[in-house]
Amino acid sequence: MIRAYDDIIVKTIARILTPFIQIFALYVIMHGHHSPGGGFQGGVILGASLILLFITHGLKETKKRITEKGIAVLSSLGVLIYSGIGLLCIILLGNYLDYGKLSKLLHIVPAEARSLGILGIEIGVGITVMAVMVSIFLNISTGGTLLEDEEDNTR
Amino acid sequence: MRILSLIIVILTAAVLIYGTLDMPDCANPDTPASQHVSPRYVTRAMEETATHNIVTSVLGDYRGYDTLGETTVIFSAGMACILILRKRRRQ
């Protein structure tokens, strides 16, 4: 059961901090090539920012921004991006997940194509991890009801 | 009974410690694990993948199939959570 937190300080600080947390998460995903980080870590930070919103602003308010269907679609979309890049490499006459073959498509040297391929799969991993974190949090915290029927759910 | 458990624990610990005596030293470059594919990763990751972070290039490129499995495991965990916990509204 998640109700909106009844404290203006907590609500305001969470609202101000959330975009910065999300930008940091995107930085962690994008900068995984040059510093510690990557899809898993960045995805968890992104999911944590959404969970912070759910805790402070309540389920009803936050569900207007991210729906249950959207979360389910995002969690499969990440795996689809990952395996889609792998299949694209097969179509371009390479092995599965052999990003060097993407160079034919992008007109760059194979090493750069591999770098971009890694970035693509990291984005896919980040999307899946973020959506699954939020989905598990919502299902456990509301006992699986997700408060669809607010009126007869008085717990 | 307690004495017996203590003896079993000490014996198991002794066997495990004896097993570690054969293991190579920490950070020894001549171990089989460091001689097989690691030199290739360390020396050629930059020119082959144009990625400064060797960990990322191993995770995402050389061991990409493994990371795909990890992502699928996380996806299945989320789907299992939905399937087990989600309660539909009664009609």
* Interface predicted TM-score (ipTM): 0.85
Residues in chain A closer than 8 A to B72 (CB atoms): 79
Structure tokens at A142: 């509301």
In this structure, is residue B24 part of a structural domain? no
In this structure, is residue B21 part of a structural domain? no
Interchain CB distance below 8 Å, B85 and A78:
no
In this structure, is residue A107 part of a structural domain? yes
In this structure, is residue A68 part of a structural domain? yes
CA of A134 to nearest chain B CA: how many angstroms apart?
A: 9
Q: B69: domain range? A: 35-91
In this structure, is residue B5 part of a structural domain? no
Q: A101: domain range? A: 8-150
* Banded pLDDT at B5 (limits 50, 70, 90): very high
In this structure, is residue B80 part of a structural domain? yes
Distance CA A48, CA B49 (A): 31
Residues in chain B closer than 8 A to A75 (CB atoms): 75, 78-79
pLDDT tens track of chain A, all 155 residues? 567 777 889 999 999 999 999 999 999 999 988 888 888 999 999 999 999 998 898 888 888 888 889 999 999 999 999 999 999 999 998 888 888 888 888 888 888 899 999 999 999 999 999 999 999 998 888 887 777 655 444 44
In this structure, is residue A1 part of a structural domain? no
Count the domains in chain A. Answer: 1
Interchain CB distance below 8 Å, A75 and B48:
no
In this structure, is residue B74 part of a structural domain? yes
Of B51, B65, B77, the CB nearest to A118: B51
pLDDT 10s digits, B40-65? 888 888 888 888 888 899 988 888 89
Nearest to A62 by CA among A142, A4, A149, A16: A4
In this structure, is residue B8 part of a structural domain? no
In this structure, is residue A85 part of a structural domain? yes
Strand locations in chain B, DSSP E? none
CA of B57 to nearest chain A CA: how many angstroms apart?
A: 7
CB neighbourhood size of A54 (10 A): 19
Could you say which DSSP state residue A155 is in?
Answer: -
Distance CA A8, CA B91 (A): 38
- pTM metric for this prediction: 0.83
In this structure, is residue B49 part of a structural domain? yes
Of A34, A38, A76, the CB nearest to B75: A76
Structure tokens at B57: 């290039």
Amino acid A150: pLDDT: 55
Count the domains in chain B. Answer: 1
Of A38, A140, A144, the CB nearest to B56: A38
Nearest to A47 by CA among A28, A64, A32: A28
